[in-house]
Amino acid sequence: MMSLSIKWPLGTMSFLLSSLLILLSLSLPSWGQSSETTSPKASDGTPFPWNKMRLPEHIIPGHYDLMIHANLTTLTFKGTTAIEITASQPTSAIILHSNQLQISKATLQKGAGKRPSEEPLRVLEYPPHEQIALLAPEPLVVGLPYTIVVEYAGNLSENFHGFYKSTYRTKEGEVRILASTQFEPVAARMAFPCFDEPAFKASFLIKIRREPRHLAISNMPQVKSVTVAEGLIEDHFDVTVKMSTYLVAFIISDFKSVSKMTESGVKVSVYAVPDKINQANYALDAAVTLLEFYEDYFSIPYPLPKQDLAAIPDFQSGAMENWGLTTYRESSLLFDAEKSSASHKLGITLTVSHELAHQWFGNLVTMEWWNDLWLNEGFAKFMEFVSVSVTHPELKVEDYFFGKCFDAMEVDALNSSHPVSTPVENPAQIREMFDGVSYEKGACILNMLRDYLGAEAFKSGIAHYLQKFSYKNTKNEDLWNSMASICPTDGTERMDGFCSRGQHSSSSSHWRQEGLDVKTMMNTWTLQKGFPLITVTVRGRNVHMRQEHYLKGADTTETGYLWHVPLTFITSKSNSAHKFLLKTKTDVLILPEEVEWIKFNVGMNGYYIVHYEDDGWDSLTGLLQGTHTAISSNDRASLINNAFQLVSNGKLPIEKALDLTLYLKHETEIMPMFQGMNELIPMYKLMEKREMNEVETQFKAFLIRLLRDLIDKQTWTDEGSVSQRMLRSQLLLLACVRKYQPCVQRAEGYFRDWKEANGNLRLPSDVTLAVFAVGAQTPEGWDFLYKKYQSSLSSTEKEQIEFALCTTQNEEKLQWLLDQSFKGDIIKTQEFPGILSAVGRNPVGYPMAWQFLRENWNKLVEKFDLGSPSIAYMVMGTTNQFSTRARLEEVKGFFSSLKENGSQLRCVQQTIETIEENIRWMDKNFDKIRLWLQNEKLELL
């Protein structure tokens, strides 16, 4: 699944607004194990025979026959589920999941054959655990085949999970209804009674009843259609491969589709509402190319005959990897060649590559339980980078990928972070796993491992893992064992489960000498939270290294965590990367000769930050100000990031970090520019919420002076590489929002022409965001944008307008936006988390966003689910730029009052910790920034 907070917004508005203007940090909770009631009572008051959240393991499902009949007029559905089971120990209670289903009948069939005997089962329900018990008159016989048949009914869900209702408006304004599914992580049980845990894999035979005007699609191709009554058709789909319940999917709609075949004969189709099917071609071509790439990379053919990609009008996250029928938010799949921006194209490509990677990582091989969700999500995130850099080299995904690691570190540097692999039990805890640690950190540590093992050895290890565990479930260690059984192809040999070299190995490969214990090394990255800070002290030719757990805040206590850190470095004398595996608290390496500077973490491949003691930072700042291109753009970005991280924990004065950013006057590359903006913009965002007007104004002026040369060089066109175009979009937006007059005047001219042409003039898509943001500052401009929003068929354009509407300084309009998007008529409710967070970043709107969250908390939890990434996104988006004690008390007071409806959420702990850090940071650094801004050095800008 592509998580919303993580994905939001990958359209234009977008892409970096998450970390840039919207500065999002993501997160999740760690409440204790739920207390298991000793003797739970079923809803009819009788004792319920099972008291644990997890299902018993002694009933094993093998196959489901599922018939679903949805009525899109009454918004209800009926179903019959027949599940073939066997028992591994005698029991008369069959425990499975069911949530909000009305069960009318349950029977047990014994044995196989034409006429099995049938007996009724008594049904008990235990809603707190979303479980039912089917009680047989006598215990099941071990090893004998049984079938349980359950007849039930339910309402189509009004939120975004289970079997839910979605609507769209045609060009003519008619509202049409469809029904779609979103089962991950725990909502298959809302559509049919089932053993809804990832390790209970089974095959599924699905039949869907529908009206003739509709079309039904599911995981497998349709094999036949029969008319069961007048105006009622039953579609039969082929039997699926063995898979987890959360991957089952079916959609009943009037979608249209376009299709192509891959070289190996897989039929790929994109489905969308009829008015938008002309926007499906880009994703279709990308899906064909990516599917072919993965078949080759993993050395395993895609096992199904088809792969459908469906754009759903209402969708909470970014996308979902249901096997053979991946589903997407429209903005994550549909590409309008006229209006979509460069970042939108990148976003769609990455999302499709993510979901298709899951067809192997996640679907073919699945984590045993949600504690190892990162085996699905970290891998799919990482494979976005691996695949797209090969299939779409023009998108230059490597310019953008490593910023994800900085995003993950923002959260992982908090004490409230969690290990990549972490125990979870109840549904809210499970939903909380879909966060920046499972996705981004997971991807970053895999990238570090690939850099360490070498790309070919890594690829062999993955192929070995996927082949060995196909159609099975795995734990963390299964992956490391597969990796360790593969040796690099550079003269190493297998010895006792390690890869080792002969004595002649070169010093540049220090980390291979002692043999390769992948499992021990990677356990240090997945079983403990956080990441290391490496402090480097150069004494002549000796380089002393020391590692410690990096935590934000200066007064943090030493945790004693140690990592196996695959260090890489370059020096003023050698620009090829040297390698050193640091396994202890301290170590020393000896250089062949003395150097002027040394830079660790080459290309940002490692998940750690570095502090250079003595004059180490001064020499690197000097290097950037002299010849910044002596090191790569990724290396420059990591220096900017690390310097500000070190300000947070008191190792580096804020003045030195700010001095380092002055070189950005000469920078032109996307990664260091974005990183600079990511560090500097939050400083004035904190000031905006503290009414520090004078310094805030000076700081904003400094930022524009710093970037002015590059802003002035931007053409108002769609020329250049994807990276250049994304940089242009953000620079012009920043300049216009900061009221840099040359930018504002040009944007006003464009907006005037666009408005006079009734919105039919084609604007360069890279500058549209800036033009709309300027246009939205007048009441007439804002109203015109909203009018265009209602009729637009382009997801990019709608996202751009949405963002622009949120930048108004008119409080009434901001309040109206919150009310409208929450209601969901014209602006869909799926857009609400983004709108709430954008208003929460608005200097005028932030108090009302925070107020809105508090007043509507219960309804938000009902709609978006406790623990979901959407809830985390809204909590962080409305509160994590506060930096006063009064606001901190407000936040603490509100969330503690929620009790079990939110006080335990990890995002709440994270936002409280972030606000405390903001207060400390501002108390310590504000006066220093004020004095630094008066420095004569800045006169030269």
Active site residue ranges: 355
CB of 101 within 8 A of CB of 241? no
Closest C-alpha among 309, 66, 238, 165 to residue 829 = 165
Residue type, 227: T
Closest C-alpha among 209, 238, 210 to residue 224 = 238
Q: What is the rounded distance in angstroms from the CA atom of residue 389 to the CA atom of residue 901?
A: 43
* Long-range Cβ contacts of 664-669 (<8 Å, 24+ apart): 664/706, 664/707, 665/706, 665/707, 665/709, 665/941, 666/628, 667/628, 667/636, 667/710, 668/710, 669/399, 669/633, 669/636, 669/723
Closest C-alpha among 876, 836, 818 to residue 24 = 876
Kindly tell me the burial class for residue 741, based on how many C-beta atoms sit within 10 Å of its own C-beta (0-12, 13-18, 19 or more).
exposed
How many residues make up the chain in this entry?
A: 941
> Beta partners for 571?
574, 598
* Long-range Cβ contacts of 119-125 (<8 Å, 24+ apart): 121/94, 121/148, 124/42, 124/43, 124/44, 124/46, 124/48, 124/49, 125/42, 125/43, 125/44, 125/98
Output phi, psi for 933, to 5 deg.
-65, -20
Kindly tell me the burial class for residue 302, based on how many C-beta atoms sit within 10 Å of its own C-beta (0-12, 13-18, 19 or more).
buried
Q: What is the rounded distance in angstroms from the CA atom of residue 409 to the CA atom of residue 608?
A: 9
Kindly tell me the burial class for residue 940, based on how many C-beta atoms sit within 10 Å of its own C-beta (0-12, 13-18, 19 or more).
exposed
Mention every residue, 6+ apart, whose C-beta is less than 8 A from residue 742: 712, 735
* Tokens found for residue 180: 């779609």
Q: What is the rounded distance in angstroms from the CA atom of residue 251 to the CA atom of residue 243?
A: 19
Residue type, 352: V
Q: What is the rounded distance in angstroms from the CA atom of residue 728 to the CA atom of residue 579?
A: 36
The DSSP secondary structure of 206-247, one letter per residue, reads: EEEEE-TT-EEEESS-EEEEEEEETTEEEEEEPPP-SB-GGG
CB of 869 within 8 A of CB of 5? yes
CB of 649 within 8 A of CB of 552? yes
| Torsion of the alpha carbons at 802, 808, 814 and 816, rounded to the nearest 10 | -70
3-state secondary structure 509-564: EHHHHCCCCHHHHHHHHHCCCCCEEEEEEEECCEEEEEEEECCCCCCCCCCCCCCC
The DSSP secondary structure of 405-446, one letter per residue, reads: HHHHHHHHTSTT---SS----SHHHHHHTSSTIIIIIHHHHH
Q: Which residues of 137-168 are buried (b: 16+ CB within 10 A; e: fewer)?
A: eeebeeeebbbbbbbbebbbbebbbbbbbbeb
CB of 816 within 8 A of CB of 807? no
The DSSP secondary structure of 44-78, one letter per residue, reads: TSSBPS---SSPPSSEEEEEEEEEEEEETTTTEEE
CB of 325 within 8 A of CB of 251? yes
- Residue 359: left (phi > 0), alpha (psi -120 to 50), or beta? alpha
